[in-house]
Amino acid sequence: GENVEQHPSTLSVQEGDSAVIKCTYSDSASNYFPWYKQELGKRPQLIIDIRSNVGEKKDQRIAVTLNKTAKHFSLHITETQPEDSAVYFCAAWITGGGNKLTFGTGTQLKVEL
């Protein structure tokens, strides 16, 4: 079936450094790629998303890039802060065989002081 691969599974950075999380997808018809942040014991919440007709989108310290040809997209967090520590999930909207959101396996980001 269609899947989304996410790397790395864990990421540790120093406060103020940048963090990059990468995802690849298999369905070439996918046209929407959201990123979710999940704090411990909480529900996932959308932090940024990108559509397939856009190559890059930025919102303050967070940016997402999309390479449709290579079928991969990335989350970039600059000037990381302790409150950025969480699990981050990428996802791709799959249209083949029904309309559904397929998630990556998650990245545990730890921002150390």
Partner 1 sequence: NAGVTQTPKFQVLKTGQSMTLQCAQDMNHEYMSWYRQDPGMGLRLIHYSVGAGITDQGEVPNGYNVSRSTTEDFPLRLLSAAPSQTSVYFCASSHTGVSYNEQFFGPGTRLTVL
Q: Does 35 bind partner 1 (CB under 8 A)?
A: no
**Count of residues binding partner 1 (CB under 8 A)?**
25
CA 42 to chain centre: 17
Q: Does 51 bind partner 1 (CB under 8 A)?
A: yes
- Residue 45: Cβ-neighbour burial (10 angstroms; 0-12, 13-18, 19+): exposed
Nearest-angstrom CA–CA distance, 70 and 25 = 9
Distance in Å, CB of 46 to partner 1, minimum = 5
- Contact predicate 33/66, CB 8 Å: yes
Q: Which strand ranges, in their side-by-side order, compose the sheet holding 62-67? A: 4-7, 19-25, 72-77, 62-67, 56-59
Which of 19, 25, 44, 84 touches partner 1 by CB under 8 A? 44
Distance in Å, CB of 101 to partner 1, minimum = 6
Residues 67 to 96 in contact with partner 1, rule: CB under 8 A:
89, 93, 95
Interface residues with partner 1 (CB under 8 A) are: 1, 6, 9, 31-32, 34, 42-46, 49, 51, 89, 93, 95, 98-106
